[in-house]
Structure 1
């Protein structure tokens, strides 16, 4: 507790953030499941010089003119237009809701999207277009996430210091012919990876790939 010119000012309570994060993480490990998250490169990453353009499909005149890949199923960028396609492959605990069947009219005709909500740890940044892969073999495209922060004192809360459950998002199951199924590992390998037992928690260091910070420097605020 402190006073400035006779006014009460809240003191920073770091323990409150730590306790809230701990509760979220305990719930994720207790009732959740392991999922492989594929974080794709974005145009902002390219602008920051973190990644170059795909040498397979983004170097011709059409790609340069329209600013997008000429092939959605490009094996070099997986439709992102940027070299390698993804910035990171990481395994994290996650809680998924049950899926609901529905129908909607799109440019491709009548489709039956299968959407779920999921929550995972807050140590990485999710963007629309990223993917989550489950031990069932399903691959889901993530939507715009919601930010949850805990204010503990005077000032602006930032994700690294105050986020408790940033990655709370919707996800839609991808069709089997989607480009998502070209991203490694294969479905059989994915099931084996996410079904590991033994150590608590098991190690996934041999399958994780991190090519850039999980929370980009230009997005930390």
Structure 2
């Protein structure tokens, strides 16, 4: 029989404290609802969704030789897939509270002529996964293309901090305002309806069940980390 482990060599492994995650999420959500605004997020299909058999190729523009050779749509402004090459274009349309930083319009000379770049920072809830290239629409009528934001995940004990379980917020992701001729403006709703939807004034939280579209999990199982 082996000797007992001396007290000085015993280790204590802390278990995860789920209540800490719930409280921190509640604080973030309260701040978003107090000083933020409603925004419509457009989450586009990705190649990983296709590999997971969640979506097929767009029958309108992804069946020609160009798409087969290069793996991308022959035209960016496809009215059915919005240049993604995948059926329907997006996997979800969801409305969430969001905080945007301020930005002023400016002009820049590029190879494409004079453009008006405008980059904003944003923060929103943690219950969905954003990819670079997804869009967010504001009550101003603007549509912005996002880059994947940095995630804040709480470490409450020993274990892997998955987004689904312990993430609290997306902190200061970047988004660029799209030109009025961009493919983002083909995605419904149209600008007038968008402004009406996002300016609903009923007591928070407002229901947007008539607007939201969910075609796949907001955090796919292959991306739960």
Q: TM-score range by the shorter chain?
A: over 0.9
Query: Which residue among 63, 66, 69 is the counterpart of 1:62?
Result: 66
The alpha carbon displacement at 1:8 in A equals: 2.8
CA distance in 2, matches of 1:106, 1:13: 52
**Residue 213 (structure 1) aligns with:** 217
The alpha carbon displacement at 1:166 in A equals: 3.0
Higher alpha-carbon Rg: 2
Which range is displaced more, 97-106 or 72-81? 97-106
Q: CA RMSD in A?
A: 1.7
CA distance in 2, matches of 1:59, 1:36: 30
8 A Cα contact 1:100 1:116, kept in partner: no
**Residue 170 (structure 1) aligns with:** 174
8 A Cα contact 2:33 2:204, kept in partner: no
8 A Cα contact 2:139 2:194, kept in partner: yes
Query: Which residue among 93, 98, 101 is the counterpart of 2:97?
Result: 93
Instruction: Flag structure 1 segments of 5+ consecutive residues without an equivalent.
Output: none
Q: 1:8 to 1:100 in 2, by over 3 A?
A: farther
**Residue 151 (structure 1) aligns with:** 155
CA distance in 2, matches of 1:207, 1:119: 21
CA distance in 2, matches of 1:19, 1:140: 31
Deviations for 1:64-111, whole angstroms, at most 9, x for unmatched residues? 110000010000100101010000000000000001445556542453
Q: 1:107 to 1:127 in 2, by over 3 A?
A: farther
Which range is displaced more, 11-20 or 28-37? 11-20
**SS where residue 218 of structure 1 aligns?**
helix
Equivalenced residues, count: 219
**Residue 75 (structure 1) aligns with:** 79
8 A Cα contact 1:103 1:110, kept in partner: yes
